[in-house]
Structure 1
Amino acid sequence: MSTDSRIVDILSKVTTATITTILLKKGLRNVWLRGVAPLKADQPRKVGRAFTLRFVPMREDLATPESWSAPISTRVGIEHMPEGCIAVVDGNGVTHAGIFGDILCARMKQRGVAALVTDGAVRDVAGVRETGLAVWSQGIASPPSVTGLTFVNWQEPIGCGGVAVFPNDIMVADGDGVVVIPAALVDHVLELAPEQEQLEAWIMQEVEKGTPLPGLYPANAETKARYEASKKKL
């Protein structure tokens, strides 16, 4: 199994809620992209390395329909996206202009892109849903991107949903939103996340049995001992 395959395999079973807690304990509070929600409620969790794209505010001499055919354009950027990546787009929080529509999303899906994440908006939403590409965005808008934004480059550090995202950071997206795991902390999260998920599943069973919360969640030494004993019985 490749390194990235292992990352996807492990983190596909871990909630973004668990990941934010693990990163909080490492001192990272600003890792959850604000305002970014799944386009479809039943989208499965997606994990992948960030492929970043950056827009800046619209300037009339640059944000034109002709810019779509330029060497630096969203169209060319899509052709550089590797299979399995998550496209993370800095849309400046602009929700009155759609950065990607059905045709661009269809091409991303065809190239094996795992998901699109943006703090901007998407357009042609019925067609986007039909492409099967998983999308997390801040909204839906009919007008094209150039009515509110200017595309400038790909694979640069960006801000998305108020969070710094660097190329090749690991992104995890689920029903609770999108979290970035800094590349340097991926191994730390991989080590702790599965065990944390198992512990919380066990705690939920204890809650269903009527166990009071103090000392149970968060688990004190006695609770942790009972949890470890329960694992040995399996």
Structure 2
Amino acid sequence: MSVDPLALDDKVVQALRAVSTATLTTVLLKHGLRNVWLRGTRPLAAGQPRLVGRAFTLRFVPAREDLATPASWASPISTRAAIEAMPAGCIAVVGAMGVTDAGIFGDILCARMRKRGVAGLVTDGVVRDVAGVLGTGLPVWCQGTAAPPSVAGLTFVGWQEPIDCGGGAVFPNDIIVVDQDGAVLIPAALLDDVIAASVEQERLEEWIMGEVERGTPLPGLYPPNDENKARYRAWAEKDGGD
């Protein structure tokens, strides 16, 4: 059953834009979640910005010859129809089973997503028409490119339902953060706790980096022992609390 997309508060977006996916994986590990980084989600172009948005999920299954045809592109259940249901600000997360010889989207579909205000595309598959896709300006994270269309290797079956993307279980409206290290999911129920812990972790690592630059040895610093925790707290209250 398709799940209605939800909006994401601007304050959440601004807070998470200051947090790296590396930090998020550490924080989520402390919450007991190990499988949150979506494998194979690499930036298609250099310099793509860190993005934050709710997941709008799309799901492919293996190609079946009676279903995976060019005629299916006009079906009510199609990638075209899914794109028209995407809200502005979402991140399209596409489970493509890691297939790398059939491009899930090309330039026209990416252009339409950009026009609708979709923040970005994340997939464990590949895209096609790469020059045109780059020309749309839509930030894309994927495994690369391939000339054949999606129906050469995949069948599209639905949107806004749980998917497997890069070996991770992504549910509609999970929060996705993506940067140069790839895509990380945050379960919606953990959002507030993760934001608070991640902002604090980033600030702690800022202080640790400063100490490294001053020549402080790593043992007892990273992670900090009780003495260095006290030094960090004093710094945060005085200089790092702005």
Give, in whole Å, the separation in 2 of the partners of 1:114 and 1:219.
37
Q: After the TM superposition, list the runs of 4 or more consecutive aligned residues in structure 1 that deviate by more than 4 angstroms.
A: none
Out of 148, 151, 157, the residue aligned to residue 146 of structure 1 is 151
- 2:8, 2:54 within 8 Å by CA — same for their partners in 1? no
Residues 56-92 of structure 1: CA distance to partner in whole angstroms, max 9, x if unpaired?
A: 0000000000000000000000000011000000001
Letter in 1 for 2:111: A
- Match of 1:56, SS? strand
Report the alpha carbon displacement of residue 41 of structure 1 after superposing the two structures with TM.
Answer: 1.8
Give the TM-score of the pair, scaled to structure 2: 0.95
- 2:122, 2:141 within 8 Å by CA — same for their partners in 1? yes
Out of 213, 218, 227, the residue aligned to residue 208 of structure 1 is 213
Report the alpha carbon displacement of residue 232 of structure 1 after superposing the two structures with TM.
Answer: 2.9
The residue number in structure 1 matching 2:229 is 224
Letter in 2 for 1:181: I
The residue number in structure 1 matching 2:74 is 69
Structural RMSD (CA):
0.9
- Match of 2:87, SS? coil
Give the TM-score of the pair, scaled to structure 1: 0.98
Please list every run of 5 or more consecutive structure 2 residues that lacks an aligned counterpart in the other structure. 1-6
Give, in whole Å, the separation in 1 of the partners of 2:119 and 2:168.
20
- Residue 100 (str. 1) matches residue 75 (str. 2): no
Report the alpha carbon displacement of residue 228 of structure 1 after superposing the two structures with TM.
Answer: 1.2
Letter in 2 for 1:91: A
% same residue: 71
Give, in whole Å, the separation in 1 of the partners of 2:8 and 2:43.
27
Report the alpha carbon displacement of residue 188 of structure 1 after superposing the two structures with TM.
Answer: 0.8
* Residues matched between the structures, number: 233
Give, in whole Å, the separation in 2 of the partners of 1:167 and 1:3.
13
Give, in whole Å, the separation in 2 of the partners of 1:233 and 1:200.
16
Give, in whole Å, the separation in 1 of the partners of 2:20 and 2:210.
18
Residues 196-234 of structure 1: CA distance to partner in whole angstroms, max 9, x if unpaired?
A: 101101100100111000110011111111011112332
The residue number in structure 1 matching 2:3 is none
The residue number in structure 2 matching 1:54 is 59
Letter in 2 for 1:211: T
- Match of 1:178, SS? strand
- 2:100, 2:145 within 8 Å by CA — same for their partners in 1? yes
Give, in whole Å, the separation in 2 of the partners of 1:232 and 1:81.
43
Letter in 2 for 1:179: V
Give, in whole Å, the separation in 2 of the partners of 1:76 and 1:167.
17
- Residue 23 (str. 1) matches residue 28 (str. 2): yes
Map 1:1-234; keep pairs closer than 5 Å: 4-234=9-239
Please list every run of 5 or more consecutive structure 1 residues that lacks an aligned counterpart in the other structure. none
Residues 17-55 of structure 1: CA distance to partner in whole angstroms, max 9, x if unpaired?
A: 000000000110000011210001210100000000000
- Match of 1:116, SS? strand
Structure 1, 35-44 or 68-77: larger mean CA deviation: 35-44
Give, in whole Å, the separation in 1 of the partners of 2:51 and 2:76.
30
Letter in 2 for 1:135: V
Report the alpha carbon displacement of residue 3 of structure 1 after superposing the two structures with TM.
Answer: 5.1
- Match of 1:99, SS? coil
